[in-house]
Amino acid sequence: SQKIEQNSEALNIQEGKTATLTCNYTNYSPAYLQWYRQDPGRGPVFLLLIRENEKEKRKERLKVTFDTTLKQSLFHITASQPADSATYLCALDGGGSARQLTFGSGTQLTVLP
Amino acid sequence: DAGITQSPRHKVTETGTPVTLRCHQTENHRYMYWYRQDPGHGLRLIHYSYGVKDTDKGEVSDGYSVSRSKTEDFLLTLESATSSQTSVYFCAISESTQETQYFGPGTRLLVL
């Protein structure tokens, strides 16, 4: 069956360091992958989308990679700040006629000052 | 929150009662989605709509029905609420199925 795994439920890092979050998937062949940020009590907010023919995408301090051979995406936040503390969700194109998104359960990132 | 509102924002109800949650958008997006979010499960798709009166089931549709009579409104109904439907419900919209989804603020539902 299809499965998405995001690394460890919680990740703590020191301010200024690079945070790296992992999204692994099995039994999918997604055409694209998205990353969302979710703050407590709020809905997820879109950050980046990367397509299967793209290896890397950047936006300001954010970088996403997509390795369809390893079936893995890495999400990097460089020069992290306490304001980056949130839960980060990866979402895959789940296929099917409507190509709905399937979400991972998220990684909670805490950036310590 | 990209012109999406959900109502009510909080609801407490009793087992066996019907409950309707409303999602309203002002973006004129074609696609609308209902998800539930539970600890350890992430966001799971309940139902989605690809146009007025056009809906389909998602991963966890049992016990839920939806209706979309206008582009801007997508209703989620729990026919007879159960404690297992205690959750946070999110509505989302998108212009197409391969684009960003924009989420509403969520509805926290407690079924006693």
> What residues of chain A lie within 8 A of the CB of B43, using their CB?
44, 89, 91, 103
- The pLDDT, as a whole number, for residue A12 is 95
| Inter-residue contact A102 to A96 (CB < 8 Å) | no
Parallel/antiparallel/unpaired status of strands B107-111 and B10-13 = parallel
Number of domains into which chain B is organized? 1
Domain interval for residue A17:
3-112
d(CA A29, CA A92): 9
Burial bucket for residue A112 (CB in 10 Å: 0-12, 13-18, 19+):
exposed
Q: B19: closest CA among B73, B64, B58? A: B64
Consecutive H or E run containing A93: strand A86-93
Per-residue pLDDT tens, chain B, 112 aa: give them: 569 999 999 999 999 999 999 999 999 999 999 999 998 788 999 999 999 999 999 989 999 999 999 999 999 999 999 999 999 999 999 987 767 899 999 999 999 9
- The pLDDT, as a whole number, for residue A29 is 81
User: Is pLDDT of A97 > 60?
Assistant: no
To the nearest whole Å, the CA of A12 is away from the closest chain B CA by: 19
Cross-chain Cβ contact A31/B98 below 8 Å: yes
d(CA B7, CA B22): 5
CATH at residue A21: 2.60.40.10
The dihedrals phi and psi of B29, each to the nearest 5 degrees, come to -80, 145
Mention every residue, 6+ apart, whose C-beta is less than 8 A from residue B74.
Answer: B22, B23, B25, B32, B34, B49, B66, B67, B68, B91
Cross-chain Cβ contact A44/B1 below 8 Å: no
Read off the pLDDT of residues A36-83 as tens digits, 9 standing for 90 and up: 999 999 999 999 999 988 989 999 999 999 998 999 999 999 999 999
CATH at residue B43: 2.60.40.10
Work out how many CB contacts closer than 8 A connect A with B: 52
Encoded amino acid at B30, one letter: R
> What residues of chain A lie within 8 A of the CB of B106, using their CB?
41-43
| Three-class SS state of B84 | helix
A59 touches chain B (CB under 8 A): no
d(CA A11, CA A22): 11
A30 touches chain B (CB under 8 A): no
Domain interval for residue B36:
4-111
| Three-class SS state of A35 | strand
- The pLDDT, as a whole number, for residue B42 is 85
DSSP string, B25-74: ESS--SEEEEEEEETTTEEEEEEEEEETTEEEE-TT-TTEEEEEEETTEE
Mention every residue, 6+ apart, whose C-beta is less than 8 A from residue A38.
Answer: A44, A45, A86, A87, A88, A89, A106
Number of domains into which chain A is organized? 1
